[in-house]
Structure 1
Amino acid sequence: MRVSRRTLLALLGGAGASAAVGVPLLAGLSGSTSTGALLPSLMPLPQPFTLPFRVPPVLAPTRRDAAGDHYEIVQRAATAEILPGVLTPIWGYNGIFPGPTIVSTRGRPTTVTHRNELPVPVVVHLHGGHTPAAHDGFPADLLHPAGTPAGPHDHRHAATPAYGTRTYRYPVRQPAATLWYHDHRMDFTGPAVWRGLAGFHLVRDPAEDRLGLPAGDRDLPVMIADRAFAADGSLRYPSLDPALLHTPGVTGPYGAGVLGDVLLVNGVPWPLAEVPAVRHRLRLLNASNARRYRLSLDPAPRGGPALTQIGTDGGLLTEPIAHDAVELAPGQRCDVVVDFARYGPGREVTLRNEFGDRSTAAVMRFRVGGAAPDPSRIPDRLAPDPVVAPGPAATVRTLRFRHDTVRGMPGWTVNGAPFDPAHSIADPLLGDTEVWRLVSDFHHPVHLHLGHFRVLSRGIGGPGPYDHGPRDTIDLRPAEQATIAVSFTDYPGRYVLHCHNLEHEDMAMMSVFTTRAAGR
């Protein structure tokens, strides 16, 4: 790997500040590492590939009517047997991790009423959702615990504070896609998600159903999340305030990001999935706080690349793309099809993380069974591109993501400013497509609420091999500039963009943008 003098000087210029938060200076320039520090587990870990793969349960609606499908979820403390024979305290949607999967149909509204029985306020964000501002999960729109009296709480920046319960309304006016929902409370997203507040929300579409892609029990959600365990089996996380009530942030070097040494798939450490020798759709989600993954199959099948990518954050690609491996930054999704018929019966195939080592080098394993009827196919054309190309007069904005000092302590900023819920960094018009230039110092997976975007370039080149399709999160690499085209439609109001390294987000790397109708 060759490093330019300009890149080296730019990184060394931030050496003192980065050392304070444990950021590796030159690691990752090739795109092969994560920004963060390893938090090791303090108890013996299970042998990989001894526990069965499981799919999170699909939540049944409490009712269906002309207004749509209605769901209820209780956020509460519970225990889960994540490691064999060990009960681990978690915070869970309906008391489980991952939370139950919600399945919506395009064009049919979904409402989800959350009841908060946790000891702290919460916020729910439908990640990837095309959602009105009041229901998007703005970080200051707190849902206080049940039994909390309305009174002297800080609502200076909340549009709609709530107590006990809140109903989120999703119009589902968007194509089929792999979405997920998670906590988004200002300053405390990282520890809340680490404790278990995350789940799938899948959008179906009759147009996608007609394509003939693998479906039913051959359509597998795969939530990958790294964690660390304390000696008593609890989840280990370096919060400055373990109660998550007053002081945000993490200790020591972990402000760069918290990396665990246990890889969980749908809440199971290194599981084993029994699969027939047919095509399967894997809905890969990186739900880790800071860890990046490069996923491949070992052994690779004969006859060409192992993974056929069909979808990304915002839905289907226009056409399939073959890969030997795919890369996922925190928050990103990638839908791939794997044809296990290319392996012999009884063959064991490992999903590997080429960015990991030791316990983080393998994710899960598949054991291939016998042949079975397979009516699925992968068509040459999948879906139209939903992102409009920018015109010659498109508004151009530059956003810089970098390590900085925030209120006298190490933190992360956008354009030199920490998160301020009352200040809007941009005010795009609905119906417009803008060009945004994103500039980084270290790894920053930049996530945009409301709008999906198209990656136009990286540096002086075009999009990278994993940049195709409608995105809501881009893996911005160290000392890199990327350009995206983003369209805003339908909903006026206040939204956020932020780094989806959750420790960076909690330490102020987030900004508000406000969409507005023309003439207002």
Structure 2
Amino acid sequence: MNRRRFLGLGASVFGAGALAAVAVPSAARLLAEGRPGRLLSSELDLPPAFQVPLPVPPVLEPYSSDETADYYEIVEQVAKLEILPGVRTEAWTYGGSYPGPTVVARSGRAAVVKHRNLLPVPTVVHLHGGHTPADSDGYPVDLLLPVGSTGGGDMAGMPGMPGMAHRAAGRSVTGERTHTYPGRQRAATLWYHDHRMGFTGPGVWRGLAGFHLVHDDEEAALPLPYGDRDLPLMLADRSFAADGSFRYPATDPTLAAPGVTDDYANGVLGDVILVNGAPWPRLDVDWARYRLRLLNASNARAYRLELDPQPSGGDALVQIGSDGGLLEAPVTHDALEIAPAERFDVVVDFSRYEPGTSVRLLNRFGSDRTAEVMRFDVSSRRVTDDATVPEELSTIERLDPDAAVTTRQFAFRRSRGDGWTINGRPYEPGHDIARPALGRTELWRFSSDLHHPVHVHLNQFQVLTRDGRAPGPYDAGWKDTVDLRPAEVVEVLVRFTDYAGTYMLHCHNLEHEDMAMMADFVVE
């Protein structure tokens, strides 16, 4: 793939806070909107909203357990799914479903997950938000080749991706790979997804994503909603071809080479909003509080979520957790902005509505069909609800900026001739951009040209400033993904613990990621 050709956004690059020349109008439009992506329309009639019941991903049961660990197996396989009513869609799946089965783990116990690949392509599994040894983190060239593969060959080759074949040659396995997640982290809403170099976008788009929930004693002691009133909600947009298949603008429809066509190099937006794999679903809810674990699993779409109607008095969404688990105290929102890969745990009190009310979850960043997400239908029957949201949720250690041993700069830019880059370099496996020491606090400064949700592997971080001011309304708690808006500088404090090795820093706009907006860092 020729990087000098792939990006049709022109030569817009920010430097010292100023915008350089813009070569094509589409770049100016994207900057004005402040949000990425281009809409890819479906080729078949779309169903009406709020007809399909909300599915809840099945919980994966361990096939074995011992004193310290639970053992799971997930088969990666092709499946024909009814995503749109009456239409069969071929998906790449974990365990035959989309989303894949939910792994429910306990802090302090290891979750050992064996993946078996029956797909026609290699995969890489990354536990997003996982505090994980490097050999189980899902480094993008740690390929799991399909069962029956005779070796790396053209499966591992990726034209135009420097260093791929060389690095993958000694790291690929065939058929099965086991990931060990020690569980040395607090309760949090995590997720797992494909992370193959150059092909994360089409892999996730076709269905390779699932929840991984970590529980602990601190969270269990709180009177938060639980059981059927604790709902994981995976938000994703997709487009469909006339035959019902997923429509995706790959440069090479066979996916032998990475990349999307020029018009979609700033991200692919679908015109169907899925929640847990269902289009614009509906859910009957009790006249009670619910915990909604919101995950943006879209390739590039950002959402501004809002309930309609708002309850009397506002503050409809009570945030109790972020990427890395519980906040110190709840934060109330009338609307919630969520970038790709971010998670927000919120409590919604449906008893604030009149029984029988239908409450829509809207996307204020969307238009037409993408402006609606799902609907909650509040029961006319009053029920007992013993859940509450305490004023104090958790104690969080605050990282001290005065303790930072170094400050590192990471510029997320479209570079002239090289496409999406970090510090002017497209990704090359094995070339590290930083070498932080275990246990030492560092200040990392992210700067942007366009819109980039920045994800850091291994440890969560704390947002210190946005453009020299206080963190934004959605920056509270421990984060592993931060929404970096156009021409913005965000400073975070990070401290890596427990595991040395090579990890990743990258944009989680999956089209940016696939076209080289990634970097290695080595924890020593």
TM-score w.r.t. structure 1 length? 0.94
Match of 1:510 in 2: 518
User: Does the alignment pair 1:176 with 2:181?
Assistant: no
In structure 1, distance between residues paired with 2:17 and 2:407 = 24
Shift of 1:11: 6.7
Match of 2:107 in 1: 106
Match of 1:3 in 2: none
Match of 1:465 in 2: 473
User: Does the alignment pair 1:234 with 2:242?
Assistant: no
Alignment of 1:359-398 (within 5 A): 359-369=369-379, 370-386=381-397, 388-398=399-409
Residue 33 of structure 2 aligns with an amino acid whose one-letter code is G
Shift of 1:394: 2.4
Match of 1:255 in 2: 265
Alignment of 1:154-173 (within 5 A): 156-158=166-168, 160-173=171-184
- In structure 2, relative to structure 1, the CA distance for the partners of 1:343 and 1:393 (3 Å cut) is closer
User: Does the alignment pair 1:420 with 2:428?
Assistant: yes
Residue 156 of structure 1 aligns with an amino acid whose one-letter code is H
Give a deviation string over 1:64-91, Cα, whole Å, max 9, x none. 1124100000101111101110001100
Match of 2:32 in 1: 27
In structure 2, distance between residues paired with 1:471 and 1:9 = 26
In structure 2, distance between residues paired with 1:110 and 1:57 = 17
In structure 2, distance between residues paired with 1:167 and 1:468 = 34
User: Does the alignment pair 1:205 with 2:216?
Assistant: yes
In structure 1, distance between residues paired with 2:24 and 2:185 = 42
Match of 1:303 in 2: 313
- Secondary structure of the structure 1 residue equivalent to 2:92: strand
User: Does the alignment pair 1:266 with 2:276?
Assistant: yes
- List gaps (5 residues or longer) in structure 1: 1-5
CA RMSD, 1 decimal: 1.7
Specify which of 200, 209, 227 is matched with residue 216 of structure 1: 227
Alignment of 1:393-412 (within 5 A): 393-405=404-416, 411-412=419-420
Residue 71 of structure 1 aligns with an amino acid whose one-letter code is Y
- In structure 2, relative to structure 1, the CA distance for the partners of 1:228 and 1:11 (3 Å cut) is farther
Give a deviation string over 1:302-331, Cα, whole Å, max 9, x none. 133101000000000010011101110000
Shift of 1:12: 4.9
Is the Cα contact below 8 Å between 2:117 and 2:146 reproduced in 1? yes
Larger displacement relative to structure 2 (194-203 or 393-402):
393-402
Shift of 1:252: 2.5
Is the Cα contact below 8 Å between 1:15 and 1:25 reproduced in 2? no
Shift of 1:391: 2.5
Shift of 1:25: 4.0
In structure 1, distance between residues paired with 2:117 and 2:124 = 10
Is the Cα contact below 8 Å between 1:11 and 1:25 reproduced in 2? no
Give a deviation string over 1:200-221, Cα, whole Å, max 9, x none. 0000111101011000000000
Match of 1:15 in 2: 22
Match of 2:365 in 1: 355
Is the Cα contact below 8 Å between 2:131 and 2:183 reproduced in 1? yes
Give a deviation string over 1:415-466, Cα, whole Å, max 9, x none. 0000011111000000011001100000000000001111111113110000
In structure 2, distance between residues paired with 1:11 and 1:55 = 46
Match of 1:444 in 2: 452
Shift of 1:512: 0.2
User: Does the alignment pair 1:479 with 2:487?
Assistant: yes
- In structure 2, relative to structure 1, the CA distance for the partners of 1:240 and 1:429 (3 Å cut) is same
Shift of 1:375: 1.2
Residue 465 of structure 2 aligns with an amino acid whose one-letter code is S
In structure 2, distance between residues paired with 1:502 and 1:473 = 13
Give a deviation string over 1:127-180, Cα, whole Å, max 9, x none. 000000000000010000100123645652246321100000000100000000
User: Does the alignment pair 1:431 with 2:436?
Assistant: no
- Secondary structure of the structure 2 residue equivalent to 1:429: coil
- Secondary structure of the structure 2 residue equivalent to 1:425: coil
Is the Cα contact below 8 Å between 1:11 and 1:441 reproduced in 2? no
Shift of 1:9: 10
Is the Cα contact below 8 Å between 2:198 and 2:259 reproduced in 1? yes
In structure 2, distance between residues paired with 1:507 and 1:223 = 25
Give a deviation string over 1:348-369, Cα, whole Å, max 9, x none. 0000111111011010000000
- In structure 2, relative to structure 1, the CA distance for the partners of 1:306 and 1:248 (3 Å cut) is same
Match of 2:56 in 1: 55
Match of 1:313 in 2: 323
- Secondary structure of the structure 2 residue equivalent to 1:223: strand
TM-score w.r.t. structure 2 length? 0.93
Residue 15 of structure 1 aligns with an amino acid whose one-letter code is V
Residue 289 of structure 2 aligns with an amino acid whose one-letter code is R
- Secondary structure of the structure 1 residue equivalent to 2:166: coil
- Secondary structure of the structure 1 residue equivalent to 2:253: coil
Is the Cα contact below 8 Å between 1:387 and 1:470 reproduced in 2? no
Residue 476 of structure 1 aligns with an amino acid whose one-letter code is L
In structure 2, distance between residues paired with 1:18 and 1:124 = 38
Is the Cα contact below 8 Å between 2:14 and 2:413 reproduced in 1? no
In structure 1, distance between residues paired with 2:311 and 2:84 = 32
Shift of 1:24: 3.0
User: Does the alignment pair 1:86 with 2:87?
Assistant: yes
Residue 125 of structure 1 aligns with an amino acid whose one-letter code is H
Match of 2:334 in 1: 324
Is the Cα contact below 8 Å between 1:23 and 1:36 reproduced in 2? no
- In structure 2, relative to structure 1, the CA distance for the partners of 1:7 and 1:188 (3 Å cut) is closer
- Secondary structure of the structure 1 residue equivalent to 2:265: helix
Larger displacement relative to structure 2 (147-156 or 67-76):
147-156
In structure 1, distance between residues paired with 2:112 and 2:28 = 41
- In structure 2, relative to structure 1, the CA distance for the partners of 1:7 and 1:141 (3 Å cut) is closer
Match of 1:284 in 2: 294
Specify which of 501, 510, 513 is matched with residue 509 of structure 2: 501
